[in-house]
Amino acid sequence: MNFTRTEIPEVIICEPEIHGDHRGYFMESFRKDRLEAFTGLPLHFCQDNESRSARGVLRGLHYQLPPYAQTKLVRVVEGCVWDVSLDIRIGSPTFGQWVGIKLSAENKKQLFIPRGFAHGFVVLSETAVFSYKTDAYYHPENERGIRFDDPELQINWKLPETALTLSAKDRKQPLFREAEYFEPKTALYE
């Protein structure tokens, strides 16, 4: 597994080593020891989630507040998405900045998104199966979101807005300046 820091250093691209031959391929999709060594954070993933979506479906931007804040390790097992992480950590030098990366079944890249980031993705292929690990269980009372189209953030979703399909909930999320931010000291890693 190879790791590369993005423009926001805490968000990390994870690229597995692919061993392929005439039969197909083999890869390690997760190695706790190597990811912990690279991030310097203890990892305790406890829940795996998966969604299937059609082209243009945008899910996000989502996060959970402490004490149920989540670290995520996300990947695409079928199709292609544009994946976005938005820094909502109060006091961070990259507060309010976002990073995007194309994740696909073909490139097999994954994204490590620590606590303190809002996350979302849009499907670029005909369909996509999106899979991710979290280190805290889903807790609806602590779930929050930020508007995908906030003009202050200027997130490039790679598709025109007329091609996007969102849930009613995601269309009504607050703007970034109205959202509840993440206080890092309240959600230390244990």
Question: Mean pLDDT over residues 149-160, rounded?
Answer: 98
Q: What pLDDT is attached to residue 187? A: 52
132 as an active site residue: the answer is yes
Query: Among residues 63, 68, 132, 181, which one is catalytic?
Result: 132
* Whole-number Å distance between alpha carbons of 174 and 170: 9
Q: Is the per-residue pLDDT at 190 higher than 60?
A: no
pLDDT in tens, 118-150: 999 999 999 999 999 999 999 999 999 999 999
The residue among 66, 85, 65 whose CA lies nearest residue 74 is: 85
pLDDT in tens, 96-121: 999 999 999 999 999 999 999 999 99
The label of the residue with tokens 């190597």 reads 34
- Could you tell me where the beta strands, DSSP code E, fall in the chain? 2-5, 12-15, 19-21, 24-26, 47-54, 58-64, 72-78, 80-87, 98-104, 110-113, 117-123, 127-134, 143-145
Question: Mean pLDDT over residues 149-173, rounded?
Answer: 97
Find all residues with CB under 8 Å of 164, minimum gap 6, and list them: 56, 57, 58, 122, 148, 157
In the numeric block, which tokens belong to residue 113? 């998104």
- CATH superfamily of domain region 2-186: Jelly Rolls (2.60.120.10)
Question: Mean pLDDT over residues 161-177, rounded?
Answer: 97
137 as an active site residue: the answer is no
Question: Mean pLDDT over residues 20-43, rounded?
Answer: 92
**Beta strands 80-87; 98-104: pairing state:** antiparallel
